[in-house]
Structure 1
Amino acid sequence: MQSDFFAKKRRNSILLVAILIGITYGAMMITEYDAAKGFASIPKAFEWGITNFYPNVESLEKLPNIWEKLQETLLISIASATIAAFFALLFAIFGSETTKINRFFSVACRGIATLFRNIDVAAWAMILLFSFGQSALTGYFALFFVSFGFLTRAFMETIDEVGSSSVEALRATGASYFSIVMHSVIPSCIPQILSWILFMVETNIRSATLVGILTGTGIGFSFDLYYKSLNYNAASLVVLTIIVSILTIEYLSNYVRRVIL
Protein backbone atom coordinates (compact mmCIF):
# COMPACT_ATOMS: atom_id res chain seq x y z
CA MET A 1 0.00 0.00 0.00
CA GLN A 2 2.80 2.39 0.91
CA SER A 3 4.69 1.52 -2.29
CA ASP A 4 1.58 2.33 -4.36
CA PHE A 5 1.32 5.70 -2.61
CA PHE A 6 4.93 6.64 -3.40
CA ALA A 7 4.59 5.34 -6.98
CA LYS A 8 1.50 7.52 -7.50
CA LYS A 9 3.28 10.51 -5.99
CA ARG A 10 6.27 9.91 -8.28
CA ARG A 11 4.02 9.72 -11.35
CA ASN A 12 2.30 12.96 -10.39
CA SER A 13 5.66 14.66 -9.92
CA ILE A 14 6.89 13.46 -13.31
CA LEU A 15 3.65 14.62 -14.94
CA LEU A 16 3.94 18.05 -13.32
CA VAL A 17 7.55 18.44 -14.48
CA ALA A 18 6.55 17.39 -18.00
CA ILE A 19 3.73 19.96 -18.04
CA LEU A 20 6.09 22.72 -16.86
CA ILE A 21 8.65 21.78 -19.51
CA GLY A 22 5.92 21.78 -22.16
CA ILE A 23 4.66 25.22 -21.07
CA THR A 24 8.20 26.59 -21.04
CA TYR A 25 8.98 25.22 -24.50
CA GLY A 26 5.67 26.52 -25.86
CA ALA A 27 6.36 29.99 -24.45
CA MET A 28 9.82 30.00 -26.02
CA MET A 29 8.36 29.01 -29.40
CA ILE A 30 5.64 31.68 -29.27
CA THR A 31 8.00 34.48 -28.18
CA GLU A 32 10.81 33.19 -30.46
CA TYR A 33 13.22 33.25 -27.54
CA ASP A 34 16.61 31.70 -28.23
CA ALA A 35 17.87 30.29 -24.92
CA ALA A 36 21.36 29.55 -26.27
CA LYS A 37 21.74 33.10 -27.52
CA GLY A 38 20.46 34.45 -24.22
CA PHE A 39 22.97 32.54 -22.13
CA ALA A 40 25.77 33.38 -24.57
CA SER A 41 25.09 37.10 -24.12
CA ILE A 42 25.61 36.99 -20.32
CA PRO A 43 29.44 37.38 -20.47
CA LYS A 44 29.07 40.37 -22.81
CA ALA A 45 26.53 41.92 -20.46
CA PHE A 46 28.94 41.61 -17.51
CA GLU A 47 31.74 43.05 -19.62
CA TRP A 48 29.61 46.05 -20.60
CA GLY A 49 28.58 46.62 -16.99
CA ILE A 50 32.17 46.60 -15.76
CA THR A 51 33.36 49.02 -18.46
CA ASN A 52 30.41 51.44 -18.42
CA PHE A 53 28.29 51.13 -15.28
CA TYR A 54 30.40 52.78 -12.56
CA PRO A 55 30.50 56.24 -10.93
CA ASN A 56 33.17 58.71 -12.01
CA VAL A 57 34.27 62.15 -10.85
CA GLU A 58 31.68 63.97 -12.95
CA SER A 59 28.83 61.83 -11.64
CA LEU A 60 29.82 62.61 -8.04
CA GLU A 61 28.88 66.24 -8.70
CA LYS A 62 25.27 65.08 -9.02
CA LEU A 63 25.35 63.43 -5.59
CA PRO A 64 23.56 66.33 -3.78
CA ASN A 65 20.65 66.13 -6.24
CA ILE A 66 20.57 62.32 -5.94
CA TRP A 67 20.58 62.60 -2.15
CA GLU A 68 17.68 65.06 -2.26
CA LYS A 69 15.65 62.66 -4.42
CA LEU A 70 16.58 59.75 -2.16
CA GLN A 71 15.30 61.66 0.88
CA GLU A 72 12.00 62.26 -0.93
CA THR A 73 11.71 58.54 -1.68
CA LEU A 74 12.52 57.52 1.89
CA LEU A 75 10.04 59.95 3.40
CA ILE A 76 7.24 58.86 1.05
CA SER A 77 7.99 55.20 1.79
CA ILE A 78 7.95 55.69 5.56
CA ALA A 79 4.88 57.94 5.56
CA SER A 80 2.85 55.58 3.36
CA ALA A 81 3.72 52.58 5.56
CA THR A 82 3.05 54.23 8.93
CA ILE A 83 -0.21 55.95 7.98
CA ALA A 84 -1.41 52.80 6.23
CA ALA A 85 -0.62 50.88 9.43
CA PHE A 86 -3.04 53.06 11.40
CA PHE A 87 -5.95 52.36 9.05
CA ALA A 88 -4.90 48.73 8.67
CA LEU A 89 -5.07 48.23 12.44
CA LEU A 90 -8.64 49.52 12.52
CA PHE A 91 -9.71 47.23 9.68
CA ALA A 92 -7.82 44.30 11.23
CA ILE A 93 -9.63 44.74 14.55
CA PHE A 94 -13.01 44.73 12.81
CA GLY A 95 -12.01 41.87 10.52
CA SER A 96 -10.31 39.56 12.99
CA GLU A 97 -12.19 36.52 14.22
CA THR A 98 -11.12 37.41 17.77
CA THR A 99 -12.32 41.02 17.83
CA LYS A 100 -14.91 41.24 15.05
CA ILE A 101 -18.14 43.13 15.75
CA ASN A 102 -20.24 40.96 13.44
CA ARG A 103 -19.84 38.69 10.46
CA PHE A 104 -20.71 41.36 7.89
CA PHE A 105 -17.95 43.77 8.99
CA SER A 106 -15.46 40.93 9.22
CA VAL A 107 -16.09 39.73 5.66
CA ALA A 108 -16.13 43.31 4.33
CA CYS A 109 -12.80 44.19 5.96
CA ARG A 110 -11.16 40.99 4.75
CA GLY A 111 -12.48 41.56 1.24
CA ILE A 112 -11.18 45.14 1.10
CA ALA A 113 -7.77 44.02 2.37
CA THR A 114 -7.61 41.25 -0.24
CA LEU A 115 -8.49 43.68 -3.04
CA PHE A 116 -5.84 46.24 -2.11
CA ARG A 117 -3.21 43.59 -1.37
CA ASN A 118 -3.55 41.65 -4.63
CA ILE A 119 -3.22 44.64 -6.96
CA ASP A 120 0.49 45.22 -7.58
CA VAL A 121 2.05 48.55 -6.65
CA ALA A 122 2.99 49.20 -10.31
CA ALA A 123 -0.64 48.63 -11.34
CA TRP A 124 -1.82 51.04 -8.63
CA ALA A 125 0.67 53.63 -9.89
CA MET A 126 -0.62 53.32 -13.46
CA ILE A 127 -4.25 53.51 -12.30
CA LEU A 128 -3.59 56.59 -10.17
CA LEU A 129 -1.70 58.31 -12.99
CA PHE A 130 -5.05 59.00 -14.65
CA SER A 131 -6.25 60.92 -11.58
CA PHE A 132 -3.14 62.60 -10.15
CA GLY A 133 -0.69 62.59 -13.05
CA GLN A 134 3.04 62.27 -12.55
CA SER A 135 3.45 63.55 -9.00
CA ALA A 136 4.68 62.50 -5.59
CA LEU A 137 1.05 62.10 -4.52
CA THR A 138 0.58 59.32 -7.09
CA GLY A 139 3.55 57.42 -5.72
CA TYR A 140 2.41 57.96 -2.16
CA PHE A 141 -1.09 56.58 -2.76
CA ALA A 142 0.24 53.61 -4.75
CA LEU A 143 2.48 52.62 -1.85
CA PHE A 144 -0.25 53.46 0.68
CA PHE A 145 -2.87 51.19 -0.92
CA VAL A 146 -0.54 48.19 -1.16
CA SER A 147 0.76 48.78 2.38
CA PHE A 148 -2.80 49.04 3.69
CA GLY A 149 -3.88 45.76 2.09
CA PHE A 150 -0.79 43.84 3.20
CA LEU A 151 -0.73 45.19 6.75
CA THR A 152 -4.45 44.64 7.26
CA ARG A 153 -4.02 40.98 6.43
CA ALA A 154 -0.87 40.69 8.55
CA PHE A 155 -2.48 42.42 11.54
CA MET A 156 -5.56 40.19 11.30
CA GLU A 157 -3.41 37.09 11.49
CA THR A 158 -1.44 38.59 14.37
CA ILE A 159 -4.61 39.34 16.34
CA ASP A 160 -6.03 35.89 15.59
CA GLU A 161 -2.84 34.30 16.91
CA VAL A 162 -3.29 36.03 20.27
CA GLY A 163 -4.92 33.66 22.71
CA SER A 164 -8.64 34.30 23.03
CA SER A 165 -8.63 33.25 26.71
CA SER A 166 -7.83 36.76 27.94
CA VAL A 167 -10.50 38.21 25.66
CA GLU A 168 -13.09 35.76 26.93
CA ALA A 169 -12.08 36.47 30.52
CA LEU A 170 -12.60 40.22 30.06
CA ARG A 171 -15.93 39.62 28.36
CA ALA A 172 -17.02 37.47 31.29
CA THR A 173 -16.29 40.34 33.65
CA GLY A 174 -18.50 42.65 31.59
CA ALA A 175 -15.69 44.67 30.04
CA SER A 176 -16.66 46.81 27.08
CA TYR A 177 -15.48 46.10 23.54
CA PHE A 178 -13.19 49.14 23.64
CA SER A 179 -11.61 48.02 26.93
CA ILE A 180 -10.99 44.52 25.59
CA VAL A 181 -9.25 45.83 22.48
CA MET A 182 -7.18 48.50 24.29
CA HIS A 183 -6.19 46.49 27.38
CA SER A 184 -5.83 42.98 26.02
CA VAL A 185 -5.55 42.66 22.25
CA ILE A 186 -3.37 45.61 21.25
CA PRO A 187 -0.81 45.31 24.10
CA SER A 188 -0.32 41.63 23.22
CA CYS A 189 0.18 42.40 19.53
CA ILE A 190 2.38 45.52 19.73
CA PRO A 191 5.76 43.77 19.13
CA GLN A 192 4.48 41.85 16.08
CA ILE A 193 2.68 44.93 14.74
CA LEU A 194 5.84 47.04 14.96
CA SER A 195 7.79 44.27 13.25
CA TRP A 196 5.31 44.20 10.35
CA ILE A 197 5.45 47.99 10.02
CA LEU A 198 9.24 47.89 9.79
CA PHE A 199 9.01 45.17 7.17
CA MET A 200 6.56 47.30 5.18
CA VAL A 201 8.89 50.29 5.31
CA GLU A 202 11.68 48.14 3.86
CA THR A 203 9.39 46.83 1.13
CA ASN A 204 8.15 50.31 0.24
CA ILE A 205 11.67 51.65 -0.14
CA ARG A 206 12.40 48.86 -2.63
CA SER A 207 9.13 49.41 -4.50
CA ALA A 208 9.43 53.21 -4.49
CA THR A 209 12.22 53.10 -7.06
CA LEU A 210 9.97 51.43 -9.64
CA VAL A 211 7.05 53.67 -8.68
CA GLY A 212 9.28 56.72 -9.11
CA ILE A 213 10.07 55.69 -12.69
CA LEU A 214 6.34 55.51 -13.46
CA THR A 215 5.33 58.68 -11.61
CA GLY A 216 8.35 60.82 -12.50
CA THR A 217 9.36 61.45 -8.90
CA GLY A 218 11.98 60.47 -6.36
CA ILE A 219 15.12 58.44 -6.87
CA GLY A 220 13.48 56.27 -9.52
CA PHE A 221 12.97 59.28 -11.77
CA SER A 222 16.63 60.29 -11.32
CA PHE A 223 17.77 56.85 -12.46
CA ASP A 224 15.38 56.90 -15.42
CA LEU A 225 16.55 60.38 -16.43
CA TYR A 226 20.26 59.55 -16.29
CA TYR A 227 19.84 56.16 -17.96
CA LYS A 228 17.78 57.49 -20.87
CA SER A 229 20.26 60.34 -21.40
CA LEU A 230 23.02 57.66 -21.62
CA ASN A 231 24.71 59.04 -18.50
CA TYR A 232 25.48 55.56 -17.19
CA ASN A 233 28.00 56.78 -14.63
CA ALA A 234 25.40 58.90 -12.86
CA ALA A 235 22.82 56.10 -13.20
CA SER A 236 25.23 53.68 -11.53
CA LEU A 237 25.71 56.17 -8.68
CA VAL A 238 21.94 56.21 -8.20
CA VAL A 239 21.90 52.40 -8.04
CA LEU A 240 24.71 52.32 -5.49
CA THR A 241 22.93 54.95 -3.38
CA ILE A 242 19.74 52.89 -3.42
CA ILE A 243 21.61 49.72 -2.43
CA VAL A 244 23.38 51.45 0.47
CA SER A 245 20.14 52.99 1.74
CA ILE A 246 18.27 49.66 1.56
CA LEU A 247 21.02 47.82 3.42
CA THR A 248 21.16 50.57 6.06
CA ILE A 249 17.39 50.54 6.59
CA GLU A 250 17.38 46.75 6.78
CA TYR A 251 20.18 46.77 9.39
CA LEU A 252 18.33 49.33 11.52
CA SER A 253 15.08 47.42 11.12
CA ASN A 254 16.66 44.14 12.20
CA TYR A 255 18.23 45.87 15.20
CA VAL A 256 14.86 47.29 16.29
CA ARG A 257 13.26 43.86 15.85
CA ARG A 258 15.87 42.28 18.10
CA VAL A 259 15.13 44.89 20.75
CA ILE A 260 11.33 44.68 20.72
CA LEU A 261 10.86 40.93 20.12
Structure 2
Amino acid sequence: MSKTSTLKASDINIIQKKNLMLLLTVVIIVALTMLASYITDYNHIDGLTSIPAAISWMASNMIFSQSTLANLSNVLRLLWETILISIVATTTASVFAILFALLGSSLTYINKPFMYLAKIIASMSRNIPVVAWALILVISFGTNSMTGFLALFFGSFGFLVRAFIETIDEGSRDSVEALNATGATYWHTIFKAVLPGSMPQMFSWILFMIETNIRSATLVGLLTGTGIGYLFDLYYKQLNYEMVTLITLAIVVAVLIIEAFSNLIRREIL
Protein backbone atom coordinates (compact mmCIF):
# COMPACT_ATOMS: atom_id res chain seq x y z
CA MET A 1 0.00 0.00 0.00
CA SER A 2 2.80 2.41 0.96
CA LYS A 3 4.71 1.61 -2.24
CA THR A 4 1.63 2.35 -4.33
CA SER A 5 1.15 5.66 -2.54
CA THR A 6 4.81 6.53 -3.07
CA LEU A 7 4.56 5.80 -6.81
CA LYS A 8 1.40 7.88 -7.12
CA ALA A 9 3.02 10.76 -5.26
CA SER A 10 6.06 10.51 -7.53
CA ASP A 11 3.84 10.58 -10.63
CA ILE A 12 2.00 13.61 -9.29
CA ASN A 13 5.28 15.43 -8.67
CA ILE A 14 6.43 14.69 -12.26
CA ILE A 15 3.13 15.99 -13.66
CA GLN A 16 3.34 19.11 -11.50
CA LYS A 17 6.90 19.78 -12.69
CA LYS A 18 5.86 19.38 -16.34
CA ASN A 19 2.90 21.73 -15.84
CA LEU A 20 5.17 24.23 -14.13
CA MET A 21 7.68 24.09 -16.98
CA LEU A 22 4.85 24.50 -19.51
CA LEU A 23 3.51 27.53 -17.63
CA LEU A 24 7.01 29.02 -17.37
CA THR A 25 7.54 28.51 -21.14
CA VAL A 26 4.24 30.26 -21.93
CA VAL A 27 5.14 33.17 -19.66
CA ILE A 28 8.57 33.53 -21.31
CA ILE A 29 7.04 33.48 -24.81
CA VAL A 30 4.44 36.10 -23.87
CA ALA A 31 7.11 38.26 -22.23
CA LEU A 32 9.36 38.02 -25.31
CA THR A 33 6.43 38.91 -27.57
CA MET A 34 5.59 41.99 -25.49
CA LEU A 35 9.24 43.02 -25.35
CA ALA A 36 9.59 42.65 -29.14
CA SER A 37 6.42 44.71 -29.67
CA TYR A 38 7.76 47.43 -27.39
CA ILE A 39 11.19 47.56 -29.04
CA THR A 40 9.77 47.56 -32.60
CA ASP A 41 6.92 49.92 -31.66
CA TYR A 42 4.37 47.47 -33.05
CA ASN A 43 0.81 47.54 -31.75
CA HIS A 44 -1.12 44.28 -32.09
CA ILE A 45 -4.49 46.03 -31.77
CA ASP A 46 -3.67 48.45 -34.60
CA GLY A 47 -2.48 45.53 -36.69
CA LEU A 48 -5.74 43.61 -36.21
CA THR A 49 -7.95 46.65 -36.83
CA SER A 50 -6.13 47.38 -40.11
CA ILE A 51 -7.04 43.96 -41.59
CA PRO A 52 -10.50 45.02 -42.90
CA ALA A 53 -8.99 48.04 -44.68
CA ALA A 54 -6.29 45.82 -46.22
CA ILE A 55 -8.89 43.32 -47.46
CA SER A 56 -10.97 46.17 -48.93
CA TRP A 57 -7.92 47.54 -50.79
CA MET A 58 -7.06 44.10 -52.17
CA ALA A 59 -10.64 43.58 -53.34
CA SER A 60 -10.63 46.86 -55.24
CA ASN A 61 -7.10 46.73 -56.69
CA MET A 62 -6.13 43.10 -57.20
CA ILE A 63 -9.02 41.62 -59.19
CA PHE A 64 -7.69 41.01 -62.69
CA SER A 65 -9.61 41.65 -65.88
CA GLN A 66 -9.96 39.77 -69.16
CA SER A 67 -7.08 41.73 -70.68
CA THR A 68 -4.81 40.55 -67.88
CA LEU A 69 -5.68 36.92 -68.61
CA ALA A 70 -4.19 37.40 -72.08
CA ASN A 71 -0.76 37.27 -70.39
CA LEU A 72 -1.48 33.93 -68.70
CA SER A 73 0.55 31.94 -71.24
CA ASN A 74 3.69 33.97 -70.46
CA VAL A 75 3.07 33.56 -66.73
CA LEU A 76 2.70 29.78 -67.08
CA ARG A 77 5.84 29.57 -69.23
CA LEU A 78 8.00 31.29 -66.63
CA LEU A 79 6.30 29.38 -63.82
CA TRP A 80 7.16 26.10 -65.59
CA GLU A 81 10.76 27.31 -65.92
CA THR A 82 10.83 28.02 -62.19
CA ILE A 83 9.44 24.58 -61.37
CA LEU A 84 12.02 22.87 -63.58
CA ILE A 85 14.91 24.79 -62.01
CA SER A 86 13.62 23.82 -58.54
CA ILE A 87 13.38 20.14 -59.48
CA VAL A 88 16.81 20.03 -61.12
CA ALA A 89 18.46 21.88 -58.21
CA THR A 90 16.85 19.58 -55.64
CA THR A 91 17.60 16.30 -57.40
CA THR A 92 21.20 17.32 -58.10
CA ALA A 93 21.67 18.39 -54.49
CA SER A 94 20.17 15.10 -53.27
CA VAL A 95 22.85 13.07 -55.10
CA PHE A 96 25.64 14.98 -53.36
CA ALA A 97 23.68 14.97 -50.09
CA ILE A 98 23.50 11.15 -50.09
CA LEU A 99 27.28 10.90 -50.47
CA PHE A 100 27.91 13.41 -47.66
CA ALA A 101 25.27 11.75 -45.47
CA LEU A 102 27.02 8.39 -45.82
CA LEU A 103 30.25 10.06 -44.75
CA GLY A 104 28.59 11.93 -41.90
CA SER A 105 26.37 9.22 -40.45
CA SER A 106 27.55 7.42 -37.32
CA LEU A 107 26.33 4.19 -38.94
CA THR A 108 28.23 4.45 -42.24
CA TYR A 109 31.14 6.86 -41.70
CA ILE A 110 34.56 5.86 -43.04
CA ASN A 111 36.59 7.70 -40.42
CA LYS A 112 36.02 10.45 -37.86
CA PRO A 113 37.79 13.31 -39.72
CA PHE A 114 35.67 12.76 -42.85
CA MET A 115 32.54 12.50 -40.71
CA TYR A 116 33.17 15.84 -38.98
CA LEU A 117 34.21 17.49 -42.27
CA ALA A 118 31.00 16.36 -43.99
CA LYS A 119 28.89 17.68 -41.13
CA ILE A 120 30.73 21.02 -41.05
CA ILE A 121 30.32 21.57 -44.80
CA ALA A 122 26.63 20.67 -44.63
CA SER A 123 26.11 22.92 -41.60
CA MET A 124 27.72 25.89 -43.36
CA SER A 125 25.57 25.33 -46.45
CA ARG A 126 22.40 24.91 -44.38
CA ASN A 127 22.86 27.93 -42.14
CA ILE A 128 23.28 30.40 -45.01
CA PRO A 129 19.76 31.35 -46.19
CA VAL A 130 18.82 30.81 -49.83
CA VAL A 131 18.42 34.57 -50.26
CA ALA A 132 21.97 35.13 -49.00
CA TRP A 133 23.24 32.46 -51.41
CA ALA A 134 21.45 34.25 -54.25
CA LEU A 135 23.01 37.61 -53.33
CA ILE A 136 26.48 36.09 -53.03
CA LEU A 137 26.22 34.20 -56.32
CA VAL A 138 24.78 37.15 -58.28
CA ILE A 139 28.10 38.93 -57.77
CA SER A 140 30.00 36.04 -59.37
CA PHE A 141 27.57 34.71 -62.00
CA GLY A 142 25.31 37.66 -62.71
CA THR A 143 21.53 37.54 -63.16
CA ASN A 144 20.80 34.29 -64.96
CA SER A 145 19.29 30.84 -64.45
CA MET A 146 22.61 29.38 -63.28
CA THR A 147 22.64 31.74 -60.30
CA GLY A 148 19.13 30.66 -59.29
CA PHE A 149 20.05 27.00 -59.73
CA LEU A 150 23.16 27.28 -57.56
CA ALA A 151 21.36 29.24 -54.83
CA LEU A 152 18.68 26.54 -54.58
CA PHE A 153 21.31 23.81 -54.86
CA PHE A 154 23.38 25.00 -51.89
CA GLY A 155 20.27 25.67 -49.78
CA SER A 156 18.89 22.20 -50.54
CA PHE A 157 22.21 20.43 -50.06
CA GLY A 158 22.71 21.44 -46.44
CA PHE A 159 19.15 20.61 -45.42
CA LEU A 160 19.12 17.25 -47.21
CA VAL A 161 22.45 16.15 -45.72
CA ARG A 162 21.08 16.63 -42.22
CA ALA A 163 17.78 14.92 -43.08
CA PHE A 164 19.56 12.00 -44.74
CA ILE A 165 21.99 11.55 -41.83
CA GLU A 166 19.08 11.33 -39.39
CA THR A 167 17.31 8.88 -41.71
CA ILE A 168 20.38 6.64 -41.98
CA ASP A 169 21.06 6.79 -38.24
CA GLU A 170 17.50 5.65 -37.57
CA GLY A 171 18.02 2.62 -39.83
CA SER A 172 18.46 -0.92 -38.60
CA ARG A 173 21.89 -1.45 -37.09
CA ASP A 174 21.23 -5.18 -36.88
CA SER A 175 21.24 -5.64 -40.66
CA VAL A 176 24.46 -3.64 -40.99
CA GLU A 177 26.15 -5.59 -38.19
CA ALA A 178 24.95 -8.88 -39.72
CA LEU A 179 26.48 -8.03 -43.10
CA ASN A 180 29.71 -6.85 -41.46
CA ALA A 181 29.90 -10.15 -39.58
CA THR A 182 29.75 -12.06 -42.87
CA GLY A 183 32.70 -10.09 -44.20
CA ALA A 184 30.71 -7.86 -46.56
CA THR A 185 32.52 -4.86 -48.02
CA TYR A 186 31.61 -1.28 -47.15
CA TRP A 187 29.79 -0.61 -50.42
CA HIS A 188 28.03 -3.98 -50.30
CA THR A 189 26.66 -3.02 -46.89
CA ILE A 190 25.58 0.39 -48.20
CA PHE A 191 23.70 -0.98 -51.23
CA LYS A 192 22.25 -4.06 -49.52
CA ALA A 193 21.29 -2.74 -46.09
CA VAL A 194 21.53 1.03 -45.65
CA LEU A 195 20.09 2.48 -48.85
CA PRO A 196 17.20 0.00 -49.31
CA GLY A 197 15.97 0.75 -45.80
CA SER A 198 16.52 4.51 -45.97
CA MET A 199 15.52 5.30 -49.57
CA PRO A 200 11.72 5.65 -49.05
CA GLN A 201 12.23 8.26 -46.30
CA MET A 202 14.97 9.96 -48.33
CA PHE A 203 12.66 10.18 -51.32
CA SER A 204 10.02 11.75 -49.10
CA TRP A 205 12.54 14.41 -48.00
CA ILE A 206 13.42 15.09 -51.66
CA LEU A 207 9.74 15.66 -52.49
CA PHE A 208 9.41 17.99 -49.51
CA MET A 209 12.48 19.91 -50.66
CA ILE A 210 11.08 20.31 -54.18
CA GLU A 211 7.93 21.89 -52.71
CA THR A 212 10.03 24.22 -50.56
CA ASN A 213 12.29 25.20 -53.45
CA ILE A 214 9.37 26.12 -55.70
CA ARG A 215 8.33 28.64 -53.06
CA SER A 216 11.91 29.83 -52.53
CA ALA A 217 12.56 30.04 -56.28
CA THR A 218 10.07 32.89 -56.55
CA LEU A 219 12.07 34.96 -54.08
CA VAL A 220 15.36 33.90 -55.67
CA GLY A 221 13.99 35.00 -59.03
CA LEU A 222 13.48 38.50 -57.65
CA LEU A 223 17.20 38.69 -56.96
CA THR A 224 18.56 36.82 -59.98
CA GLY A 225 16.17 38.19 -62.60
CA THR A 226 14.89 34.77 -63.66
CA GLY A 227 11.69 32.76 -63.70
CA ILE A 228 8.37 33.77 -62.25
CA GLY A 229 10.08 35.87 -59.58
CA TYR A 230 11.46 38.22 -62.23
CA LEU A 231 7.99 38.65 -63.75
CA PHE A 232 6.47 39.32 -60.34
CA ASP A 233 9.12 41.96 -59.59
CA LEU A 234 8.63 43.58 -63.00
CA TYR A 235 4.89 44.10 -62.63
CA TYR A 236 5.12 44.98 -58.95
CA LYS A 237 7.49 47.86 -59.74
CA GLN A 238 5.05 49.00 -62.42
CA LEU A 239 2.26 48.92 -59.78
CA ASN A 240 0.32 46.56 -62.04
CA TYR A 241 -1.52 44.81 -59.23
CA GLU A 242 -3.78 42.83 -61.56
CA MET A 243 -0.78 41.01 -63.02
CA VAL A 244 0.69 40.62 -59.53
CA THR A 245 -2.54 38.90 -58.47
CA LEU A 246 -2.52 36.62 -61.50
CA ILE A 247 1.10 35.61 -60.90
CA THR A 248 0.48 35.02 -57.19
CA LEU A 249 -2.56 32.82 -57.87
CA ALA A 250 -0.61 30.84 -60.48
CA ILE A 251 2.17 30.19 -57.96
CA VAL A 252 -0.31 29.16 -55.24
CA VAL A 253 -2.18 26.76 -57.54
CA ALA A 254 1.09 25.23 -58.80
CA VAL A 255 2.37 24.67 -55.26
CA LEU A 256 -0.93 23.12 -54.15
CA ILE A 257 -0.96 20.73 -57.13
CA ILE A 258 2.64 19.67 -56.54
CA GLU A 259 2.03 19.28 -52.80
CA ALA A 260 -1.02 17.07 -53.44
CA PHE A 261 0.96 15.00 -55.94
CA SER A 262 3.92 14.57 -53.56
CA ASN A 263 1.60 13.63 -50.68
CA LEU A 264 0.09 10.94 -52.90
CA ILE A 265 3.54 9.55 -53.66
CA ARG A 266 4.50 9.63 -49.97
CA ARG A 267 1.48 7.56 -49.03
CA GLU A 268 2.50 4.95 -51.57
CA ILE A 269 6.18 4.66 -50.61
CA LEU A 270 6.05 5.08 -46.82
State TM-score, norm by structure 1. 0.92
> Which structure 2 residues correspond to residues 187-226 of structure 1 after superposition, within 5 A?
187-226=196-235
Q: Secondary structure at the match of 2:42?
A: coil
> For residue 87 of structure 1, what is the amino acid of its counterpart?
F
Is it true that 1:24 corresponds to 2:33 in the alignment? yes
* Residue 136 in structure 1 maps to residue 145 in structure 2: yes
Aligned-residue CA RMSD in angstroms? Answer: 2.0
Q: What residue number does 1:50 align with?
A: 59
Rate the CA distance shift 1:186–1:14 in 2: closer, same or farther, 3 A.
closer
Q: Give the CA deviation at 1:212.
A: 1.1
Aligned pair in 2 of structure 1 residues 27, 258: CA closer, same or farther (>3 Å)?
closer
Question: Is 1:246 aligned to residue 237 of structure 2?
Answer: no
Sort the Cα spacing of 1:254 and 1:27 in 2 relative to 1 into closer, same or farther, 3 A: closer
Query: Between Structure 1 and Structure 2, how many residues are aligned?
Result: 261
| DSSP 3-state at the match of 1:97 | coil
The match for 1:111 among 117, 120, 124 is 120
* CA distance in structure 1 between the partners assigned to 2:91 and 2:18 by the alignment: 46
Tell me how far apart the structure 1 counterparts of residues 171 and 14 of structure 2 sit (CA, whole Å).
Answer: 38
Deviation of residue 18 (structure 1)? 4.6
Percent identical: 51
Q: Name structure 2 gaps, 5 residues minimum.
A: 1-8
Query: Per-residue CA shift, 1:49-78, capped at 9, x if unaligned?
Result: 111112211111111111111011001100
1:109-146 C-alpha deviation (Å, 9 max, x unpaired): 11211221122111211222221222221211111011
Match of 1:101 in 2: 110
Q: Which amino acid aligns with 2:43?
A: D
- Cα distance in 1 for partners of 2:171, 2:184 equals 18
**Cross-structure match for 1:148:** 157
TM-score, with structure 2 as normaliser: 0.89
Q: 1:28 to 1:191 in 2, by over 3 A?
A: closer
1:89 counterpart = 2:98:
yes
SS in 2 for 1:236: helix
State the match for 1:258 in structure 2.
267
Change (3 A) 1:189 1:21: closer
> What residue number does 2:4 align with?
none
Question: For the residues of structure 1 that align with 2:232 and 2:145, how far apart are their CA atoms?
Answer: 16
Gaps of 5+ in 1: none
Residue 181, structure 1, aligned to residue 190, structure 2: yes
